[in-house]
Structure 1
Amino acid sequence: MPRLLILQSVWGMDRCSGFDVWNDLETALQAMVDAGFDGAGTNLVRKERTAITSRFMNERGLAWEAQVLVHSADELDRFADEAASLSAHHLNVQIAGPMDRVTNAVRLVESLERVRERAGLPIFYETHRARLTQDLPFCLRMLDALPAIPLTADLCHYVVAGEWDLPVDEAKHAAIARVLRQARAFHGRIATAHQVQAPVGGHHRPWLDLFLGWWRQGFAQWREQAAADDTLSFMVELGPPPYAVVDAGGRELTDRWAEARQMMALVRGLWE
């Protein structure tokens, strides 16, 4: 039956207390495995991290997500070959942008699609600020023209970029539902109207409930079209400062690694 793979971001372990991903990445990777994560995610441009992460996860039969930023089809072609040769589970692509014309955006994505269709692994396009998918109304018009492109839904960017407040109105829920229909992977953190990464729970509980509801909806829609042996990845991506909130001395206000494990448990509960 279809399975959920919950990954932990290597970037999300950067500057976590007790870990040094720059000099001892394997300790952090082992902690992920021991905590119950199904793998990790790392950016291909960080060659040493990629080499260590791919070897570590491949040797254990676990998954890892390769991540890239691309400007052209030629660039994606090279990254896709590299990710496939390293046995990545999939390639997560941020597309450079934004652009001012939907027609230009569609033309670029169509060129990327020709690469994706012949690639040796799945490729998904991430919704993200400061990228082609930055503006949600623009992205929705692009999806109207490209109703089959597979997305990595990182929904926090739309909440903070649009300064959405609670309660979220039906038009915004409908816009997110449109993105979720094409979601083939997820990145996860909790955002608010003014923070891209808020603490999990506490007085942010209404925001957590909002995202849990969206993820549950996305999981259900994915399962409706999934084959028996398909896998859906959800990467916990709680980043270091400036994503993480800090005090006047620069110290993070929460235990990010503990929150990552808490999010893993919440997401696994949604799936089950």
Structure 2
Amino acid sequence: YGGGTDTTARMMSIRTRRYLNADMQIVGKRGGSGAKAQNYTLTRPKDGCTIMALTESHLYTLARKKSNMKIDDLVGVARAMEEPTFIVVNSKNTELSTIEKLIERSKKKPILTAIANIGGTEHIGMYTYSKAAGVPFKAVSFGSGAQSVQALASGKVEASLLNPSEAAALIDAGKVKAILLLHDKELADYPDVPTSYSMGHEVKVVTTRGYAVLKGTPQEIIDAISKAMVKAMMHETFATYLKGASLDPATSPAGTEVWDKQLKENYAKAEAALRGLGLIE
């Protein structure tokens, strides 16, 4: 409880329960990077009354076959948010103060990059970018995002990947500098940070949070839940929450058609990256 997925679900439910005229309870199933939640969901009826919240770590769990669930067991109902990712460096490290400098330096020596976990979002994100941009890197796992940030701020490593919501306070404090946004669109709050697409590298690394039900749930139920969720997430209450993470309330939430397609595409990309890293066969 209390993490980003939990908080987002609680914010979403505030208005959704009104539009569905039904009670909504947030039930935590901790353990295994979503494995327990996935196995629990598989035991529930396909009636739309059990909705699974998921983010990228759940896709990695599926790809690594750490639960009994498969991606085709799910239908995406609604996306709550799509948060892009920065490559950040220590503000005092003038050698890597721009993405051009980082690319040039990487030709001499791999970029020492802090990640939370092997096979996690930062690891896969940096791998994907390195393949596209030809930037050698060496991943150093610190076990948590907080420890990764501490390592970067202290100069133990040279770079890391952070979402804007994670990076904002550190950027404002002058501890880290965002040198690249791994996305196709600029962020209004960070107009001076170039995108990977503007640099000629078509790489998007995002943290999505959304909701899914089991395949076999009647389509009219899926559509009703999707419509209610999207309406709720367009409301000022949720919009304010999104703006706090530098996200656009007009584009972050999406309905079942868009989200289900993206969910399957994100899974395929995650599976390919994990295979490239040698973490799955």
TM over 0.5: no
Structure with greater contact order relative to length (CA < 8 Å, sep ≥ 6): 2
- TM-score in terms of structure 1 length: 0.29
- TM-score in terms of structure 2 length: 0.29
- Answer with 1 or 2: which has the greater Rg: 2
